[in-house]
Each structure stands twice: as structure tokens, then as C-alpha cells.
Amino acid sequence: MIGRLNHVAIAVPDLDAACARYRDALGANVGAPQEEPDHGVTAVFIELPNTKIELLHPLGENSPIAGFLEKNPSGGMHHVCYEVEDILAARDQLKAAGARVLGSGEPKIGAHGKPVLFLHPKDFNGCLIELEQA
């Protein structure tokens, strides 16, 4: 069911410093910050030859990553995103297998303009999983 790894998301407390680090120390291709007020984050994409790294910083109040950064003040790996062909079929298969879908269970439009769902990290060894309909 799961297809490509779309991205690995890393929450960072200082977006400028993180961008400089990936650009200057790792020599990566670091994009421009994108404010996504509907998702409570500012995102920076790092393009790799086969996938992307997404640096996430809280934007506004009630950011979904504010709590994560409170627990992990230096930042940390926040989630991985897998592509699926049919997000409703994927959801139903996961629920039938006993995995919990976060929120209402209905897909939302994610930061890339495509339907997404998040799966409970307790069902996947502490790893928060985003599914995106490719």
C-alpha cells in the first residue's frame, strides 16, 4: 500500500539557523520558507535527489508542533510522510488492521494541497506517520 517516502519532517526551534546548517554544513539545496497559516507552520523544503526533508517551525498560536518543541527544545524528527494512491482505501485498510487514524478520520488538505491523514504514533513504534494521496 504505502508508496514513495514523500518527506521526513524535522521540527526546528530556529528556522534560519537550521537552514544555514543544512545549506552550509551539509551542502543541501534549501528552499525558501513557506508560511502555511492553515497548518500552523512555516516550512522549508530541502530537495534531495530521491525525496525531501521538511524543516518545520511553529507559526501562530496553536501550532501542531509547539508541544513537540516544548518537549524537545532542540528540535527533532517529527514525522515521515508516505504516499498512497487512494487515501480512503488506505484509511479503511489501516482501521481494519487496528491502527488509529488521528482526528476525525476524514482526510484534510495538507501543506502540499493534497489529502492527508495522520496515524497514531503509538501504533507505529513512536513514529508519527502522515499519509498523502499522491
Binding of residue 88 to a second copy (CB under 8 A): no
Three cell numbers at 90? 488506505
Three-class DSSP category at 80: strand
Return the residues of window 14-33 that contact a second copy according to CB under 8 A. 18, 21, 24-28
Determine, following the binding rule CB under 8 A, whether residue 133 of this chain makes contact with a second copy: no
Considering the rule CB under 8 A, would residue 80 count as an interface residue with a second copy? yes
Interface with a second copy, residue 94, by CB under 8 A? yes
- CA count, 13 A, side-chain hemisphere, 109: 4
Binding residue (CB under 8 A) for a second copy from 16, 48, 67, 120 = 48
Among 36, 64, 72, 133, binds a second copy (CB under 8 A): 72
**Contact 83/2 with Cβ under 8 angstroms?**
yes
Which parts of the chain are beta strand (E)?
5-11, 29-30, 34-36, 41-47, 52-58, 76-84, 108-109, 115-119, 129-133
Show Cβ contacts of residue 102 under 8 Å, excluding neighbours closer than 6 positions: 117, 118, 119, 120
130 is a catalytic site residue: yes
Question: Quick check: 101 binds a second copy (CB under 8 A)?
Answer: no
When the beta carbons of 45 and 82 are compared against a second copy, the nearer one is: 82
Residues making contact with a second copy (CB under 8 A): 1-5, 8, 10-13, 18, 21, 24-28, 48-51, 53, 55, 72, 74-77, 80, 82, 93-94, 97-99, 121-127, 129
* Residues classed as catalytic: 130
